[in-house]
Amino acid sequence: MFQIVKCKLLADKIYLMDVKAPRVAKRCLPGQFVIVKMDEKGERIPLTICDYDREKETVTIVFQIAGASTYKMSQLKEGDSFQDFVGPLGRASELCEESIESLKQKKILFVAGGVGAAPVYPQVKYLHGLGVDADVICGSKTKDLLILEEEMRAVSANYYPCTDDGSYGHAGLVTGKIEALVNEGKQYDLVVAIGPVIMMKFVSLVTKKLGIKTIVSMNPIMVDGTGMCGACRLQVGNEVKFACVDGPEFDGHLVDFDQAMARQRIYKTLEGRAMLKEIEGETHHGGCGHCGGEH
């Protein structure tokens, strides 16, 4: 059992939890995810790691109520436990593979949409710990839905909040802020965008036009988290990939976002899943190759 040692409401229907998971905390890196399960009959829920403390042996997760399982999860309190807390899964951010000298030569911009601020934070914090500055844009519909603002300001070189309704920070979409920064003379070598699939699509369109390499996280399309269900199958350039075992991060300029969103809609029904399995044949499942070790 994996005890919840901290539980906090960040915004409407958005919760943060610190979970005691020694082996995951010891091994995880920014960009990876875990699968949580509340009880024997509970749904497997993949969640990107928001933070970790190796000394306290805790892993931080952030989730938004989106259905019955996440609603049930929101009812858990400090002292309650998850039956399973599996991870770390997926591949770590490619930033973790670069040398400090290489990272310090890059101008990096992170773009987060909604709950996407949670997986963006550990990457910015990781760079900050290496002495590497990065700018951060965080967008939401309203000011009240922005999360982790204090934490993000503490680790970013410049923090730019955006709200769709103009109630706070930049008035408008995150794509508008990207263009505004570039027009002001900012130069970036890399953009890392994490959030709703539609947001990542339009960020990638803007950065392609601007000629800026872009990495996106396809965590939002994951269901099972081990490559066995076929839900997160996507086209990346000329290759078929699976977000959970090959990612979750990919080149945003190569991802077929329209196909990914269409598959999400089809996959929601039993008939749709059967049709996709028939059409895609042997490429429907990704298989498991990167499972971590705690359950």
For the ranges 12-16, 107-111, 221-225, which has the lowest average pLDDT?
A: 221-225
Over range 185-199, report the average pLDDT. 94
What's the token pair of residue 292?
């971590």
Q: Which of 128, 176, 183, 181 is nearest to 151 (CA)?
A: 128
Pairing status of strand 81-82 against strand 2-11 = antiparallel
271 pLDDT more than 60: no
pLDDT greater at residue 228 or residue 178: 178
Global pTM? 0.84
Q: Which of 289, 293, 210 is nearest to 34 (CA)?
A: 293
What's the token pair of residue 177?
């802020």
Q: In percent, how much of the chain has pLDDT > 70?
A: 85
Over range 184-188, report the average pLDDT. 94
pLDDT of residue 63: 92
Pairwise CA distance, residues 85 & 45, whole Å: 10
Structural domains of the chain sorted by starting position, each given as residue range(s) with its CATH number in brackets? 2-89 (2.40.30.10), 94-214 (3.40.50.80), 218-285 (no CATH)
96 pLDDT more than 80: yes
Over range 281-288, report the average pLDDT. 52
pLDDT band at 277 (very low <50, low <70, confident <90, very high): low
Over range 258-266, report the average pLDDT. 73
For the ranges 14-23, 109-118, 145-154, 243-252, which has the lowest average pLDDT?
A: 243-252
Q: Are 36 and 45 contacting, i.e. CB atoms less than 8 angstroms apart?
A: yes
Over range 213-233, report the average pLDDT. 73
Over range 191-209, report the average pLDDT. 94
281 pLDDT more than 80: no
E-only strand ranges, 81-202: 81-82, 84-89, 108-113, 134-140, 158-163, 170-171, 190-194
Listed ranges 123-127, 165-169, 277-281; the one with the highest mean pLDDT:
123-127
pLDDT of residue 257: 87
Query: Residue 231: helix, strand or coil by DSSP?
Result: coil
pLDDT greater at residue 218 or residue 286: 218
The CB density around residue 48, as the number of other CB atoms within 10 Å, is 27
286 pLDDT more than 70: no
pLDDT in tens, 36-77: 988 888 788 888 899 999 999 999 999 998 888 889 999 999
pLDDT of residue 275: 44
264 pLDDT more than 70: no
| CA distances for 129 relative to 154, 155, 178, 195, 282, angstroms | 11, 8, 25, 24, 43
For the ranges 133-137, 146-150, 255-259, which has the lowest average pLDDT?
A: 255-259
